[in-house]
Amino acid sequence: MTIYEKAKSLVTAREAAEHYGLNVNSRGMAVCPFHDDHNPSMKLDERFHCFGCAEDGDVIDFTAKYFNLTLREAAQKLIDDFGGGEFTPDEPSPPKPPDPAKRCHDVLLDLEIRLHRQKRETAPQSMGDPITAEYAQNCQMYDFIVCLADLLSNGTEQEKTEAISYFTNGVLDCYEEALQKEVIEYGDIF
Ligand SMILES: [Zn+2]
């Protein structure tokens, strides 16, 4: 629960206004403290609304405007005045760590696309052309990546865990570093 939720749970705009000295009649109307009002033109209930100057809001808005406070100060004042001042807001939940499995999938897909292209670019152009070492290496790396991606998607839980830890223990860092270069040497990564 936030400080704002807590303040609003303690008191309505009408109750707070009466407590702070506004004279609210039986129809829930009061002379508006926010404009030069002579006949009650502010309606107070859970919230407040002035039919004269259009001021409108909840109990925190009312208190902030009435005492010239920030919303946070107003909420704290309401807690002090109506809740005995005892309130500790919930700790905001810590940000979620990035999902390592998703990161692995993303990196593998990126590498798969790059290698597929490199394979095509280094492939022999016609039947008689020799297979270069570069092409052979690209094929090997491509197969390795596809295999790893398959393991990550369809392997047993243990295989998945091992694949992820293989990645997080160095491969991802090398990958980030390799991306800084124009040409990626796959020997740099694996
Ligand atoms: Zn007004």
CA 17 to centroid of ligand 1, rounded, Å: 14
What tens digit of pLDDT does each residue of 84-129 get?
877 887 776 677 777 888 888 888 888 888 888 888 888 888 888 8
What tens digit of pLDDT does each residue of 133-171 get?
888 888 888 888 888 888 888 889 998 888 888 877 777
- Residue 49 is predicted with a pLDDT of 95
CA 25 to centroid of ligand 1, rounded, Å: 16
Percent of the chain with pLDDT over 70: 94
Angle between helix axes 172-179 and 100-122 (nearest 10 degrees) is: 50
CA 151, CA 7: separation in Å to the nearest integer? 53
CA 56 to centroid of ligand 1, rounded, Å: 9
CA 55 to centroid of ligand 1, rounded, Å: 6
Residues near 173 by beta carbon (within 8 Å), at least 6 away in sequence: none
Residues near 12 by beta carbon (within 8 Å), at least 6 away in sequence: 44, 45, 46, 47, 59
CA 85 to centroid of ligand 1, rounded, Å: 30
- Residue 130 is predicted with a pLDDT of 85
Average pLDDT over residues 73-83: 94
Entry pTM:
0.49
The confidence band for 182, taking pLDDT boundaries of 50, 70 and 90, is low
In terms of C-beta density within 10 A (0-12 exposed, 13-18 middle, 19 or more buried), how is residue 160 classed? middle
CA 36 to centroid of ligand 1, rounded, Å: 7
CA 54 to centroid of ligand 1, rounded, Å: 6
Average pLDDT over residues 54-70: 97
The confidence band for 70, taking pLDDT boundaries of 50, 70 and 90, is very high
CA 66 to centroid of ligand 1, rounded, Å: 12
- Residue 131 is predicted with a pLDDT of 86
- Residue 190 is predicted with a pLDDT of 67
